[in-house]
Every structure is written in C-alpha cells, then in structure tokens.
A and B are shown apart, each in its own frame.
Chain A
Amino acid sequence: NAGVMQNPRHLVRRRGQEARLRCSPMKGHSHVYWYRQLPEEGLKFMVYLQKENIIDESGMPKERFSAEFPKEGPSILRIQQVVRGDSAAYFCASSPGRGSIWTGELFFGEGSRLTVL
C-alpha cells in the first residue's frame, strides 16, 4: 500500500499521559500536514512540515502539542499531558509539494482516533 500510513489507528490515553501519533507520507511526497477533526466538526489545520522543517504551525495549540518530520522516519505528532478535550481524530496528509507535478489535492491517511479517559 503506497498510501499515507498512520498509526496507531486508535489510541486510548488517560488524562496526563502522552500521545504519539505517527504518519508516513506517500512515497515520493516530502510535505506533511496534520489536521484535527473534533467530533461532529470539520477538519482544522494544525501544522505543515517538510523534512526537518516546520513551515506553518499556525493551527497548533500553543502548549502541549508538538510535531516533527525528521530526515529519516515518519512524522510525529506529540501531545503531552493529554486532556479530555484532545479526544479527536487526527489526520495526516501528504503532498509532493512545489516543483513537482502536483494537482493540488492532499492525500489523506485513515486517521488516528485518540480517546482520552
């Protein structure tokens, strides 16, 4: 499967624990985006990364949330000291970015559903 891979698909954490969500972009894609979907709501942009660089983190909460996309390995969205309000589906998307033949759409993974007890 050459699509965007996210894991885990489902994650349960207790308040105060840490959650780590991983995303491997499509083969050949160097741009990664994280979106959050709260229950019964649309997708909200969180952060846009290229390899080893955060390009736009305007949608990231100021505290407890961080993201990285290292030179090797998947992109990681990390949520420290989770609270019940963090319960949501977190979607990763990828694109080939500029300079490539790109029709503009983002390719999404199946999402990681975080439940905070």
Chain B
Amino acid sequence: AQKVTQAQTEISVVEKEDVTLDCVYETRDTTYYLFWYKQPPSGELVFLIRRNSFDEQNEISGRYSWNFQKSTSSFNFTITASQVVDSAVYFCALRIQGAQKLVFGQGTRLTINP
C-alpha cells in the first residue's frame, strides 16, 4: 500500500523567511509520481508540480523549489522569501504507475505573517 506522510501539521513564519514543507512517501513500486498541491483559503486545489520516480533533479520555479531524494523517500518543498499570499494548506500526493488515483498526505497548513 502507498502512504504519504506530512509530519508538519502547521507552520507559521514571518514574511520573507524561507520555509520548507516535508513530505515522506512509502511505496514498493519502482515507478511512481509525486505531486504537490496548494489549497488556499478559498478552498480549491491548485496543482503545483509533478515529479516522476526516475527524475531526481531538483526543480526551481520562481520562489518555489522541490528536493526529491529517493534514498530517503522524500519530496520536500521550499518557499524562498515567503509572502502572505503563500498562506495555504499544502498537500503532497503519490500515484503509482498503472494506478489512476492519487494518495494524499494530511497536509501542512502554512501561515505567513506580515
């Protein structure tokens, strides 16, 4: 069975600080996909990134970066120079090859204070 763990339930930082959201996953499959979604206060889910298990390159998109390490089964998400608009719940998710559904972590509620 697959499992995604986001150990940080809530994080609160002051604007402009860097913050890292942790994600640890479990699967016996060798081919899988990892995702991050953002859920702002309005409630919708916004896709941020997908990474497949064969691509361990880190990715940077503006102030967002992702660190994928198969050795530790982790897919951590860092926001640099955080802004109030980054306040949201962030979900990490896993999908194995051949399956259609995503398995989500519990989410991390990030609050950026001005």
Task: List the interface of chain A (C-beta within 8 A of B).
Answer: 31, 33, 35, 41-45, 48, 55-56, 89, 91, 93, 95, 97, 103-111, 113
Main secondary structure of the interface of A (DSSP, over half): strand
Alpha-carbon distance A107/B103, docked complex (angstroms):
14
Contacting residue for A110 out of B35, B43, B100, B104, CB 8 A: B43
Alpha-carbon distance A105/B52, docked complex (angstroms):
11
Alpha-carbon distance A44/B95, docked complex (angstroms):
13
Contact status B44-A55, CB under 8 Å: no
Q: Which of B35-58 contact A (CB under 8 A)?
A: 35, 37, 42-45, 47, 50, 52
Instruction: Note all chain A residues with C-beta closer than 8 A to B100.
Output: 31, 33, 48, 55-56, 95, 97
Alpha-carbon distance A103/B33, docked complex (angstroms):
10
Is B91 located at the chain interface by the 8 A CB criterion? yes
Contact status B44-A107, CB under 8 Å: no
